[in-house]
Amino acid sequence: MLGLVPGVASCSGPPAPDPSGSSAAPTQTGSAKQPANPPAPSTPGAGTPAASSAAATRPLGWGPQQRDADAAARAVAAMTPEERAGQVLMPFYTGLDHNAHAAVIERLHLAGSIIMGDNVPGTPDGKVDTVAMHSVTGRLQAAARAGGRSWPGLIGVDQEGGVVARLRAPLTEWPAPMSYGAAGSGPLAADAGRAMASELAALGFNTNFAPTTDVTMGPADPTIGARSMSGNAKHASGFGVAFSQGMLAAGLLPAAKHFPGHGSVSVDSHARLPVQGASLAQLRAKDLLPFQAAIDAGLPMVMAGHIAVPALEPGVPASVSKPAYAELRRMGFDGVAVTDALNMGAIQKQYPHDSAAPLALAAGADLLLMPSNVESAHAAIIRALNNGTLPPERLAEAAQRVVTMMIWRGRAGAKPGTDPGSGAEMSHKVSKAAITVLSGPCDGPIVPPASA
C-alpha cells in the first residue's frame, strides 16, 4: 500500500523528541561509548572466571562485544590475504543469474552482496516474487558462509522509502523519509524502521543501507531532497537515530549516510564529484551533527560519500580520503566505515578500473560497496598489498571490523520477520501524521474519497 504523500514535508518542523523514548530501541545500542579495545581491568580478581566473562561481554560501543572482536581477530589471523581482501568487498551483480554471482562470492571469499532492482524476481503481474526473492538471498547467504565461515554474510539492499526502494509491492510502500521530520515523532520513526526492516528480514536480508541522515539545504539539493528526514540538523539527527534503532530491533544493520553530508552540495555524486566548501567548524555545527548522533547512539555503520571537502583534503572524495576517515574516527566512531557505491561517476571518472578500492582501504574504509567489477577490485587490493601501497595491517583491521560486526549479528540470531505488506497501516499512519499546513485555514477533504 502506498501511504499518503505529505502535502509539505517539514524542513523545519517540530522539535525532534529524544530517540530513547522509543520502545523499539534495542539494548545493544544503549551502552555508553567505550574504546574499541579497552584495557583489561586491574581490579582484584580480574583473572577469575567471573572477571573474564565480564571482560568478554564488555560492549565496544557500536553493537558488538569484546568477545565478538576477539573471535574476529582469531578468524582474520587465520585468513590468507586473498580471503581478507574478499571480506571487505560487497559487490552487486546484474540481472537474475544469482547462481553465477554466488560462485564468485565463494571463489573470492566475499563479504556478501547487495541486491539492486534488476536482481529482484517478479511475478507476471509485476510484483515482487517474495518466495523467489527469499531463495535468492538464501543462496547468496550460503555462498558467503562457504569455506567454513561461522558468521553470516552481508545480504543488503537500499530500501529507504519514497523514491529509493528496490523492493516494491507486495511489500509495504513507504513515504519519503522527510515524512518522519514532518510528522515530528521519534517513536513513530522507530516503529516505521522496525516495520520496514521486519519485512526485509523475512526475505533473508540482514542489512539495509539506510537511513539517509544528510541535512538537506532544500531546492538547491539535487540528490537528497526528500530522502533527508529534515533540513534541521537536530531533527535529522533524532529521527535518523530513532529509525536506525527500529531497524536494529528487527534484526537489520542500518548505515547512516552519506558522511560528511550530501544534503548541502549542489552536484549529484552519481554523475560527478561534488565539492563541499564549508569549513570544518561549519560542518561540525550542521552537516556532521547527525553522524555524531549516530555514533553517540552506538550505531554500527557509517557510509562515506563521494564528496570532496577542501577543508580536509582538496580534490579527494571523502570515501578515499585519509583525513576524512580520521575525522570520522575523531568523532568516536569505532564501527564499520562503508563506502558509497564505487561504481558512481564521482569515483569512476577520477579512479578508473577499480583503482579506488585499495585507495579507500588505505585511507580508512572497512567495507567497499559495489565496485564496478569485483574481480578487478579484488585483484587491485592484492596488487596494492604486494607493492606496499596498502599496509597488510590496515587490510586486517578492516576485515576484522567487518567480521566482528557479522559475528555479533550471527550471535544475536536472525529475526523471523513479518509478512509482505504488514507495515501498510504504519505507513499510512506516517503519511497522515506528515501532512503539514503552511498557512491559512484548511477546510474540507485534503484528497477526494477513494473510488471503489
User: How many Cβ atoms from other residues are within 10 Å of residue 348's Cβ?
Assistant: 19
Q: What's the rounded Cα separation, in Å, for the pair 161 and 427?
A: 10
* Cα-based angle 402, 148, 80 (whole degrees, multiple of 5): 60
Would residue 340 show up in a list of annotated catalytic residues for this protein?
A: yes
Phi-psi region of 154 (alpha: psi -120 to 50; beta: other; left: phi over 0): beta
Residue pair 236/228 in contact (Cβ under 8 Å)? The answer is: yes
The DSSP bridge pattern shows strands 112-115 and 154-157 to be parallel
* Cα-based angle 214, 216, 222 (whole degrees, multiple of 5): 105
- What the block records as the C-alpha cell of 165 is 526502494
Provide the 3-class DSSP secondary structure of residue 423: coil
Residue pair 428/399 in contact (Cβ under 8 Å)? The answer is: no
Amino acid letter, residue 341: A
Residues contacting residue 226 through CB under 8 Å, at least 6 positions apart: 9, 162, 163, 176, 177, 178, 216
CA distances to 254, 276, 350 from 269, rounded to whole Å, are 21, 12, 12
Q: What's the rounded Cα separation, in Å, for the pair 446 and 430?
A: 16
DSSP secondary-structure letter at 258? E
Burial-class residue 346 by CB neighbours within 10 Å (0-12, 13-18, 19+): buried
User: How many Cβ atoms from other residues are within 10 Å of residue 267's Cβ?
Assistant: 18
Q: What is the DSSP string of 79-107?
A: S-HHHHHHHTEE----SS-HHHHHHHHHH
Element (H, E) at 314: strand 313-317
Identified catalytic residue from 214, 340, 354, 366: 340
CA 139 from chain centre, in angstroms, equals: 22
**Catalytic positions, written as ranges:** 340
